[in-house]
A = this chain, B = another copy of it.
Amino acid sequence: MNTGSIRLYSYWRSSAAYRVRIALNLKGLPYEIVPVHLLKDGGEQHKPAYADLNPQELVPVLLHGNRILRQSMAIIEYLDETWPDRPLMPTTARDRQRVRAIAQMIACDVHPLNNLRVLQYLENTLGLAQEARDAWVRHWVAAGLSAVEQVLEDNPSTGTFCDGEVPTLADCCLVPQVYNAERFKVDMTPYPTIRRIVGECLALDAFDKARPEHQPDAQR
């Protein structure tokens, strides 16, 4: 398959970059990782070399040839439309709506509240102590995962994965959010359906290779 060159500007621990790594792996697309260190020297994402690619100064950016693609969910849908093999979206409008809604429950209403720039604002501008910052993160993660759990449990559309028997955009978003939740020591006991699905996902090579700790820029 000649895909043209694909370069992903990524940070090992970024949830949003992790989503796109999963999608690229699920679709079997070859790509090069360009690490962007979010903490070194005040953050490489704020330097002109990166800010010119993405004025939001957030990762990821995906370069497809000379096309600059931003926003993880929009990137994943682009990959899926450009290379229809191994689809990441279901075939009916109703199911696509459900998959996008689950993805957005996480990517709109959980992750943006807890990413690095927000935690930096809580610490540096509002002067919140570690304990209050951790409580903030856990509050929004619990609210989000609790709603996702309810949408997934006892719904006939839920299968091995969030929607049916093939991983979709929803799973690409769920797995990184659960990684993040575990990092902040969120109690995952109340979310058995989420835990089951994430277990199924991480048993697949595509998800495993996308894990933060398997990235070239991972730190210990």
Taking CB atoms and an 8 Å cut-off, the chain A residues in 69-85 that contact chain B are 69-71, 73-75, 77-78, 81-82
A118 within 8 A of B: yes
Taking CB atoms and an 8 Å cut-off, the chain A residues in 116-156 that contact chain B are 118, 121, 125-126, 128, 132, 136, 139, 143-144, 146-147, 150-151
Taking CB atoms and an 8 Å cut-off, the chain A residues in 28-69 that contact chain B are 54-58, 67, 69
Chain A, interface residues (CB within 8 Å), range: 35 or more
Residue of B nearest to A73 (CB): B104
Residue of B nearest to A58 (CB): B109
Q: Select which of B57, B74, B93, B103 is within 8 A of A82 by beta carbon.
A: B93
A5 within 8 A of B: no
14 extra interface residue pairs, beta carbon distance < 8 Å, beyond A57-B147, A74-B101: A55-B146, A55-B147, A55-B150, A56-B144, A58-B109, A67-B94, A70-B105, A73-B100, A75-B101, A82-B93, A104-B107, A112-B112, A112-B113, A113-B118
> How many Å lie between the Cα of A105 and that of B72 in the bound state?
10
List, in ascending order, chain B residues with CB within 8 A of A71's CB: 100-101, 104-105, 108
Copies in the complex: 2
Q: Is the CB of B77 within 8 A of A97?
A: yes
A96 within 8 A of B: yes
List, in ascending order, chain B residues with CB within 8 A of A146's CB: 55
> How many Å lie between the Cα of A146 and that of B77 in the bound state?
25
